[in-house]
Chains A and B, each alone.
Chain A
Amino acid sequence: MPEQPQIARPQSDRSMIEIKNVTRSYGAFKALDDASLTIREGEFFSLLGPSGCGKTTLLRMIAGFDNPTSGSIAVGGQPMEGIPPNRRPTNMVFQSYAIFPHLNVEQNVAYGLKRLKLQGGEEKRRVEEALAQVSLTGLGKRLATELSGGQRQRVALARALVMRPKVLLLDEPLSALDKKLREQMQVELRRLQQAVGITFVLVTHDQYEALAMSDRIAVMFGGKIAQVASPKEIYQRPVNRQVADFLGGMNFVKAEIVEENGASLVVDTLGFGRVKTDKPKAFVRNGGGATLGIRPERLRVLWDNATAKFEVAGKVVERHYFGEITHLIVEIPGLEKPLSVTETNDFGADDIPVGTPIRLAYDPEALVAMAD
């Protein structure tokens, strides 16, 4: 793929997809339960959640392969009710890629253009352009059976992009690729999206994929949207324990609410004392208790006589080596569960013997209060 200049794309605040109170029931089971969401024009938006959370159902409803039991979906300001997939301004990259095996690469990419009956070599020009966008120039005559997994994926992308949709829908497009290729395609997909400026909606169960590629993420559980925010906010300020847990390691500490007002929350904890934190947007108090969370990499080992303004003391009980990092399990007096600490190996964290007394520094900013 040719280098694309990394110019910040002007972020639009205009909405591209409006999802209002959408429910999809199968008998008594609700695959999607009263979901509302706005996806902006030109943004890379991810639907993230475990399997069965309703993310694919929602994507297929945007594409028109499924219909809401109640609620409405609009794309580009146009209500989608009753409009079949072939007349929607969306195109999809399928999880299986769905490359037509009886057609070659060029014919696959030109499939949707055939109906448009373009004049004077326009079709050929657009196919060439789409193949160039996904770095498949010169492979137009190949059969689908002669392509690697990564190449099939690119054909599926080109075939959708050549239609110049308002929205490109991607259903777990990288899940069939091996780890290395997947990481490479994450970068390329993001770059491609910035270059073409089309709204991308990605469905994934891989939190790192969502964090790496998206402008915004909607985290979903059990048919409900738990949180919609930027990757950074989702990771650092998860709205509840479930979201925090799904997005990677998190230490949870029991907390008592001392004071609650509009913007902040003051809680008492055993290990971290009295802490004042920003109140999460959707915080709903559930009695006097709350949970305080801190990511393992936000705890740092204090070496020798180093001190920090905020520190906790404990004892190493387990050590796990992961190459560039070491995972320490540290018991803190008063805490019911030991803390996980991720430390880079630059200073010898991989050599700390189990049983060593240790002090950990933290930034109070890294502490996040969550509803239980």
Chain B
Amino acid sequence: MTARSRFLPGGWLSVYAFLYIVFLYLPVIFLPIFSINTAPTPKFPLTGYTLQWYEDLPHTPALLDAAWNSLIVGVSASVLATVLGILAARSITRYRYPGRRAINGLIMAPLVLPEVIVAISMLLVMLQLGLSLSLFTVVLGHVLVCIPYSMTVLTSGFEGFDRSLEEASADLGESAFGTFRRVTLPMVAPAIISSLLVCFTISLDEFIIAFFLTGTEATLPIYIWGQLRFASKLPGVLALGTLLLVASFLLMTIAEILRRRAARRTQNEGGLYA
């Protein structure tokens, strides 16, 4: 691999890679730039520096309501998805049974299903079940889209969990509950926290499912969508968007660090690699 890459046109490849990254991230960089611009319309040249749009945010009751709703939905969905994810990941990594792969595939499927279709189907099912649309139905929808992410994080934390660690604990006199508390839980804790953070972030940013399944209560993305109709509200939306962006980035970074730590803990066990 490395030997062959020396003969590739390294210069052009670098240019391509650079343009690719720029295309991907330039819009994201405009967001914070225009959010501190004094002009209410997002265009160059910049007119001046201000934090006014950020200062206005806490004085917008509808926004605070939306933030609170998003928090409730995010926490509920991430806890539910992680609990279900733990059970599924444990079963997939620990036991061998017929249909294991198929089940794994079905759990991961929402990752590749068009979200609009999922949202509409869920809406139909919820209405058929006689559920009235509320934050609760949004939570159910978010659990569905969060579980694949939760599974991915948790499987990488559980995979290679040396079963003899639990046996060693029992051998040293510890009860089943004590073993869970002193060995299993500390070992997989980083993966669990990582899964919670990932799910929370996804729920926080998710728009389509929330849009279809919520009643009168808006989550943050829905609030932003609503604000886009008013040109004068745009700078506030940019400020809010920047904050969401930063929050997502931080949460995902922490989650990834924890996931790697969990994977390191459970893998490379035993003297073979030492």
Binding site for B on A (CB under 8 A): 63, 65, 84-87, 90-92, 94-102, 111-112, 115-116, 145, 147-153, 159-160, 163, 176-177
Contact = CB atoms under 8 A, between A and B. Distances in A.
B272 interface: yes
Contact of B171 (A91, A95, A116, A150): A91
Contacts of B186: 102
A86 B173 contact: yes
10 contacts: A85-B170, A86-B173, A90-B171, A92-B167, A92-B168, A92-B171, A112-B174, A145-B264, A159-B168, A176-B271
Contacts of A111: 169, 172, 174, 182
B169, B170, B175 interface centre (most CB from chain A within 10 Å) = B170
A97 B270 contact: yes
B102 interface: no
Contacts of B270: 95-97, 152, 176
The 3 A-B pairs with the shortest beta carbon distances in the complex, nearest first, are: A112-B172, A149-B271, A96-B270
A147 B174 contact: no
Nearest to B167: A65
Contact of A94 (B168, B175, B182, B265): B168
A100 B274 contact: no
Interface string B152-177: 00000000001011011111111100
B274 A148 contact: yes
A96 B265 CA distance: 14
A96 B274 contact: no
B271 A86 contact: no
A102 B187 contact: yes
B183 interface: yes
A37 to B, nearest CB: 21
B162 A98 contact: yes
B226 interface: no
A31 B103 CA distance: 32
Contacts of B266: 101
B178 interface: yes
A117 to B, nearest CB: 12
Given A95-B270, A145-B264, 14 more contacts: A85-B170, A85-B171, A86-B172, A86-B175, A92-B167, A92-B171, A101-B265, A111-B169, A112-B174, A149-B271, A163-B172, A163-B173, A176-B270, A176-B271
A111 B183 CA distance: 10
A111 B168 CA distance: 10
B95 to A, nearest CB: 17
Interface string B61-74: 00000000000000
Interface string B241-274: 0000000000000000000000011101111101
Contacts of A63: 171
Contacts of B265: 101-102
Contacts of B272: 149, 176
Interface string B13-29: 00000000000000000
Nearest to B179: A86
B188 to A, nearest CB: 10
B269 A96 contact: yes
A86 B164 contact: no
A100 B170 CA distance: 13
Given A94-B168, A98-B167, A115 B269 contact: no
Contacts of B183: 100
B164 A98 contact: yes
B165, B186, B271 interface centre (most CB from chain A within 10 Å) = B271
A151 B269 CA distance: 13
Nearest to B190: A102
Contacts of B169: 100, 111
B164 A94 contact: yes
Nearest to B274: A149
Contacts of B170: 65, 84-86
A152 B167 contact: no
Given A85-B171, A92-B171, A98 B271 contact: no
B171, B173, B175 interface centre (most CB from chain A within 10 Å) = B171
B173 A96 contact: no
A280 B171 CA distance: 39
B173 A152 contact: no
A4 B37 CA distance: 79
B274 A115 contact: no
A321 B269 CA distance: 40
B172 A159 contact: yes
A152 B270 CA distance: 8
Nearest to B271: A149
A147 B274 contact: yes
Given A94-B164, A96-B269, A98-B162, A115 B173 contact: yes
A95, A100, A149, A152 interface centre (most CB from chain B within 10 Å) = A100
B187 A91 contact: no
A84 B178 CA distance: 14
Contacts of A152: 270-271, 274
A120 to B, nearest CB: 21
A65, A95, A99, A177 interface centre (most CB from chain B within 10 Å) = A99
A95 B269 CA distance: 11
Contacts of A148: 271, 274
A92 B167 CA distance: 9
